[in-house]
């Protein structure tokens, strides 16, 4: 009788361990399908005020983290690709006044920046799309 209880207990424990392992694997698969993505791209700017504005615009566009390096003019963002995209983040940054590899800021947004934030626009990539109303593919 004791050996039957032992065998049944061992079987039950094995079943529980197997079910638990499969449950963990399912959770791991679900997490990997929505894994955050990290991208870096050029964003022109000058100072600490630029940094705050650029990072805030990226966050509003859905970036979970945004860090702009003033020396390198590089914005590094982490985001959930199911919730936003690099394109959406670049548009938001441009609309806040900052030219980047994807979009050129509208003149009105650039001219609205404080004097210390008005960077040299000659460094803007020629491939950048326009965010001006009626130009490029951005709808207003």
Q: Where are the chain's structural domains?
A: 37-130
What integer is the mean pLDDT of 105-122? 95
What integer is the mean pLDDT of 30-36? 66
CA pair distance 139, 133, nearest whole angstrom: 7
Task: Provide the pairing of β-strand 63-69 with 37-42.
Answer: unpaired
Of 23-32, 36-45, 57-66, which gets the smallest average pLDDT?
A: 23-32
pLDDT at 137: 44
pLDDT at 49: 96
**pTM of the complete model:** 0.72
pLDDT at 64: 97
CA pair distance 68, 113, nearest whole angstrom: 17
CA pair distance 128, 107, nearest whole angstrom: 14
CA pair distance 3, 25, nearest whole angstrom: 33
With cut-offs at 50, 70 and 90, classify the pLDDT of residue 18.
low
pLDDT at 1 over 80: no
Q: At what angle do helices 86-95 and 48-60 cross, to 10 degrees?
A: 130
pLDDT at 140: 31
23 vs 119, more confident: 119
Query: CATH class for domain 37-130?
Result: alpha beta
With cut-offs at 50, 70 and 90, classify the pLDDT of residue 15.
low
Q: H/E element holding 42?
A: strand 37-42
Residue appearing with tokens 């955050």: 36
């Amino acid at each position: 009788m004791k050996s039957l209880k032992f065998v049944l207990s061992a079987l039950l424990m094995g079943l529980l361990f197997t079910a638990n392992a499969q449950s963990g694997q399912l959770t791991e698969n679900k997490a990997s399908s929505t894994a955050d993505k990290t991208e870096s791209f050029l964003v022109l700017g000058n100072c600490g005020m630029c940094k705050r504005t650029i990072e805030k615009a990226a966050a509003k566009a859905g970036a979970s983290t945004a860090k702009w390096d003033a020396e390198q003019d590089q914005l590094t963002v982490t985001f959930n690709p199911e919730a936003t995209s690099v394109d959406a983040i670049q548009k938001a940054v441009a609309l806040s006044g900052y030219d980047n590899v994807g979009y050129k800021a509208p003149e009105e947004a650039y001219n609205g920046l404080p004097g210390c934030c008005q960077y040299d626009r000659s460094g803007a990539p020629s491939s950048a799309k326009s965010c001006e109303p009626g130009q490029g593919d951005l709808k207003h």
